[in-house]
Amino acid sequence: MRVLVAEDETLIRLDLTGMLQSAGFEVCAEARDGVEAVELARSELPDLAVLDVKMPRLDGIESARRILDERPIPIVIVSAYTETSLVERAAEAGVFGYLSKPFREEDLLPAIATARARFGQLAAVRDQVETLAEALAARKVIERAKGILMEKDGLTEDAAFGRLRKASQTSGRPLRVIAEAVVATMG
Amino acid sequence: MNVLIAEDETIIRLDLKGLLEKNGFRVCGEARNGAEAVELARTCEPDVALLDLRMPVVDGAEAARRIYAERPIPIVMLTAFSDRANVEKAIAAGVFTYLTKPFRETDLVPAIRLAVARHTELLAARRTIGKTPPPARIEIRLPSHSGHHWPLRVQRTADGSVGVVLDGETA
């Protein structure tokens, strides 16, 4: 489990890093501001991020939003500030945990464990949504290509599908790609 | 927002109730053990539940599992024990987040807000799946006397209709 830590105060950053390392995490990147956090998330591909809220250049919540836009990972925010507006922004940004400073090891570790578990659950459901959406899109373009072949070449539905399937088998390309080509050239 | 709380220690329960009400939440039920929590979750229409892990009759993890099976709401676990085994137990029971006692108001409110936000996303994604008929296709190969294998396809298309096709070609 590789963790990105972003915290502008060196002492707190060292403390956080120490806590994570003694719990068996690998701290793969340490950022001193929000911009660095976004860049390090991009280059180091961490599995999880712990971000401070108040940081120079870019705050932790905005950097969380940018990291999540590029590559969703579980994020826990740590903050000395717990105003409602900050918490609401964190909730909207998609973070999974919000801890107020000073936090203890027994606050941080369960927050990370639950963030990981619930993030994994949400990611799995979202993957399934994506797979279904893709299958649905493929099905739609295949139906359309079939319709075009039936109309332009006077084929029955089975013959039209047979032709698409044969083209897919001979070319070794997915049925969807063949169907898209038919729609693009004949539709 | 309706919150169900379950905590066997009266003082902590009252404290929790006060904190929640001060922060604009409505406490719709107060349970003193896990069994009561399960009962109250059926009647008081909570949007979120805060459960203590160690409670008489039915513990918090088991109560979380039963509540979630009947009414999918985010559950926040409160406990004095944050050892790995207890955290894993809570996670397995579907608990959304975990607060270690003595917890602070500054951790409680964000934990509830975030649990509700992320759980809403999870439910929305699940609803999308529920509404999308999976295009399924089953292919059965029928051997014939001539030695050919005739594929018989049963497929459900994107519009939800089911078609059976005996394909003329061997694959």
pLDDT (tens digit per residue) in B71-101: 999 999 998 887 888 888 889 998 999 999 8
Domain span at A176 = 130-186
Distance from CA of B100 to the nearest CA of A (A): 6
Cα separation, B152 vs B164, in Å, equals: 7
Number of structural domains in chain A: 2
Residues A78 and A136 in one domain: no
Cα separation, B141 vs B146, in Å, equals: 14
Residues A87 and A172 in one domain: no
Quick check: A100 and B110 CB within 8 A?
yes
Question: A17-31, A54-68, B115-129: which range is least confident on average?
Answer: B115-129
Domain span at B78 = 2-131
- Candidates B11, B1, B75; CA nearest to B37 is B75
Q: From the list B100, B114, B128, which residue is nearest A106 (CB)?
A: B100
Residues B65 and B115 in one domain: yes
Residue B149 has pLDDT above 90, yes or no: no
Close Cβ partners of A36 (under 8 Å, ≥ 6 residues apart) = A6, A57
Nearest CA in chain A to B153: A158
Residue A47 has a pLDDT of: 97
Number of structural domains in chain B: 2
Quick check: A92 and B117 CB within 8 A?
yes
Separate counts of helices (H) and strands (E) for chain A: 7, 5
Quick check: A97 and B114 CB within 8 A?
yes
The reported pTM is: 0.78
26-65 of B, contacting A, C-beta below 8 A: none
For residue B113, tell me if it sits in a domain: yes
Specify the residue for token string 């594929």.
B151
Two tokens at B150? 């005739």
Residue A31 has a pLDDT of: 97
Question: A183-187, B25-29, B33-37: which range is least confident on average?
Answer: A183-187
Q: Does the CB of A123 have a partner CB in chain B at under 8 Å?
A: no
Distance from CA of A157 to the nearest CA of B (A): 10
Q: What is the pLDDT of residues A118-164, one digit of tens each?
A: 999 999 999 988 888 888 888 899 999 999 999 988 888 889 999 99
Nearest CA in chain B to A81: B106
- Over pLDDT 70: what percentage of chain A? 100
What burial class does residue B65 get, using C-beta atoms within 10 Å of its C-beta: 0-12 exposed, 13-18 middle, 19+ buried? middle
For residue A19, tell me if it sits in a domain: yes
Residues A97 and A16 in one domain: yes
Residues B18 and B74 in one domain: yes
Q: Largest Cα–Cα distance of chain A, in whole Å?
A: 76
Quick check: A107 and B113 CB within 8 A?
no
Q: Does the CB of B82 have a partner CB in chain A at under 8 Å?
A: yes
Q: How many CB pairs under 8 A join A and B?
A: 112
- Best interface-test mutation with B: which of A73, A81, A106 has the largest number of B CBs within 10 A? A106
